[in-house]
Amino acid sequence: EAEVITVKPKVVIGRPVKWVKRVKLGKDVDKIDVTKGAFNISVKDVAANVEIDKSKIKVKEDNRIKDLDEYESEKKGNRKERNLITGAVIGLTSSEEQNVTEIIIEETVEEVEVEYYTEGPTAEEFEIDEHRKRIVVSSDIHYEDILSYTELPIEAKENAVKLYWLVNGSKQEVNIDKFDTNSNGLIDYIEWIVPSLSNQTYELEITILNVQSYPTVGGEWEVRFETTGVGNKSYY
């Protein structure tokens, strides 16, 4: 049986996910399982530190065996077609994910490093009304510790920006990292970690200081007010 070490991938919304597997092949074992729908596959002979020629690699998916070049060409065409139809990346269906793709190596090697990519999670933002929006982070491939992010539609003070996770009709505040990218003292960009997918919904709340009343010199009053709302700008 093959010994497999998988490097935990870095997962970011909207970006392909890079996977690396180090595999010690056992006797009569020349097949390596990778995630269904994998693309940009390469296999390196670890001992020789050289990439194995594509002509020596075949891919078995849906009980069909193909040359690596043919497989990659089909995957590239499928991704382009999805983008043209939807304007965004579409993940695999749940039934597809239940199966794996097999890499067949037609060369005698003791240890290989397999590198491949899968489609990353997506984030969609929906305007509920002029004061609220929701961010849906989703994927049909199971990922963990997904870095998610969004730009704020209106810059705000640090304590005015909150993000909530919608769970069974309730709201739970989420820890977020807040950034002032233009160094003007106001937050304009946030990041947070989604522990696991496939589907999570978040609501972004921004409280903009503009409900304070106090007297000024000469007895005149300057009135300020505070409004709580949710930004409605989508980030893609």
Could you tell me how far CA 214 lies from the centroid of its own chain? Answer: 47
pLDDT at position 29 is 62
Structure-token match 């594509």, residue found: 54
Q: Which of 163, 149, 151 is nearest to 120 (CA)?
A: 149
Cα–Cα distance between 100 and 86 in angstroms, integer?
Answer: 25
pLDDT at position 166 is 84
pLDDT at position 87 is 36
For strands 213-215 and 221-223, give the pairing. antiparallel
Give pLDDT tens digits along the chain (236 positions).
668 889 999 999 999 999 999 998 866 667 888 988 899 999 999 999 999 999 999 999 888 899 999 999 988 876 655 443 333 333 333 334 446 889 999 888 889 999 999 999 999 888 766 556 778 888 878 889 999 998 887 788 888 888 888 888 888 888 999 999 999 998 889 999 988 876 678 877 766 554 343 444 444 444 433 334 444 333 33
DSSP 166-228: EETTEEEE---EEE-TTSSSSEEEEEEEEEE-SEEEEEEEEEEE---EEE-GGG-EEE--EEE
Cα–Cα distance between 22 and 137 in angstroms, integer?
Answer: 30
Cα–Cα distance between 164 and 180 in angstroms, integer?
Answer: 20
Residue 203: both structure tokens together: 């609501």
Classify burial at 30, counting beta carbons within 10 Å of its beta carbon; exposed 0-12, middle 13-18, buried 19 or more. middle
pLDDT at position 152 is 81
pLDDT at position 43 is 94
C-alpha dist (Å) from residue 102 to 29, 65, 215: 12, 9, 74
